[in-house]
Amino acid sequence: MTSELMNRLQRLFASGKKGLLSIYYTAGYPTLNSTIDIAEALEKAGADFLEIGFPYSDPMADGPTIQQSSQTALDNGMNLNVLFDQLGALRKRVSIPVILMGYANPMIQYGVERFCKKAAEVGVDGIIVPDLPMHEYEQLYSKYFNENNLSNIILVTPQTSADRIHKIDELSDCFIYLLSSSSITGKSLDVNDIVDTYFRRIEDMHLKNPTIVGFGIANKTSYQKACAHHHGAIVGSAFVKYLGATENYLDGISDFIRQFKE
């Protein structure tokens, strides 16, 4: 693929850059209109790409921190119409790759074709839908992702079989989202031997796609551990917690990023 045909995420990974830091946060949290301000501050602070969550009432894979931020966002009036309106300003202010992350039902109710078109229009590069099965994705929805040059990012856990990891590798065109452990979001990663073995096992599979570690990355130690074996890491709950606990949260974002990356 020539670089003009790649989305921003694919270009970032093609550059061969390592130690990538991605930040997750929930759209519409802590306030309805904070979405783009936070994105801009994160880019300035040195984040390499972003995951913006669209909230769902029943987020099965999330721990209390992200659940709570989703509920607050919904109470603030966030929904996909509002989010796409806000993201209309995204590419005037933010140039790093952006992924939308959320559960299948809101996307399906919005209409997957319409969702993908809208996402591409506002400059989104990839989508993560943790509860969308691979078979249904391939049969029903992959055409809309492809037509709009959106990467579908799929999760792998320590329990995912080698066969399945190879299948996920085949279906991916950007990176694979490696869960640090089998858990919901927001549980700090215990950097022990099991994680080490698992990180090495995946590394030794020599997948065609790069791997980024997420879930449980809350400090420099776990971030560096992830980066030692993989292309980077995603910080979610720790950042959402920061947003909820800090009054002038935009001002402190560069310090927050500096905890991980100097």
Partner 1 sequence: MKYGVNDLGYYGDFGGAYIPEMLYPNIEELRQQYMAITTDKSFTDEFDRLLKDYVGRPSPLYLAKRFSERYGANIFFKREDLNHTGSHKINNAIGQILLAGRLGKKRIIAETGAGQHGVATATVCALKGIECVVYMGEIDIERQAPNVARMKMLGATVVPALSGSKTLKDATNEAMRDWINNPVDTHYIIGSVVGPYPYPDMVARFQSIISAEAKKQLFEHTGKHLPEYVMACVGGGSNAMGMFYHFLDDESVKLVAVEAAGKGIDSGHSAATSVLGREGILHGSRTILMQTDDGQVVEPYSISAGLDYPGIGPQHAHLHKVKRAQYVSITDDEALQAGLLCSQLEGIIPAIETAHALAQLEKMKFKPEDNVIICLSGRGDKDLATYIKHFNF
Is residue 57 part of the contact set for partner 1 (CB under 8 A)?
Answer: yes
Residue 248 burial (C-beta neighbours within 10 Å; 0-12, 13-18, 19+): exposed
**Identified binder of partner 1 from the candidate list 85, 113, 121, 136, rule CB under 8 A:** 136
Is residue 109 part of the contact set for partner 1 (CB under 8 A)?
Answer: yes
**CB-nearer residue toward partner 1: 15 or 105:** 105
**CB-nearer residue toward partner 1: 106 or 252:** 106
With contacts defined by CB under 8 A, name the span among 44-52, 86-94, 124-132, 244-252 that binds partner 1.
Answer: 124-132
C-alpha distance from residue 151 to each of 63, 159, 173 (Å): 25, 24, 6
Phi, psi of 30 (to 5 degrees): -75, -20
Is residue 167 part of the contact set for partner 1 (CB under 8 A)?
Answer: no
Write out the binding residues for partner 1, residues 7-46 only, by CB under 8 A: none
With contacts defined by CB under 8 A, name the span among 12-20, 30-38, 78-86, 197-205 that binds partner 1.
Answer: 78-86
Is residue 130 part of the contact set for partner 1 (CB under 8 A)?
Answer: yes
**Least CB distance from residue 110 to partner 1, whole Å?**
7
Write out the binding residues for partner 1, residues 201-260 only, by CB under 8 A: none
- Give the active site residue among 40, 43, 48, 51: 51
**CB-nearer residue toward partner 1: 58 or 251:** 58
**Identified binder of partner 1 from the candidate list 19, 31, 32, 74, rule CB under 8 A:** 74
Token pair recorded at residue 224: 């560096």
Residue 247 designated active-site:
no
Residue 62 designated active-site:
yes
Q: How many whole angstroms separate alpha carbon 107 and alpha carbon 222?
A: 32
**Least CB distance from residue 210 to partner 1, whole Å?**
18
The catalytic residues are: 51, 62
Instruction: Give the footprint of partner 1 on this chain (CB under 8 A).
Output: 56-61, 63-64, 67, 71, 74, 79-81, 103-110, 130-133, 135-136, 154-157, 159-161, 164, 179, 182-184, 187
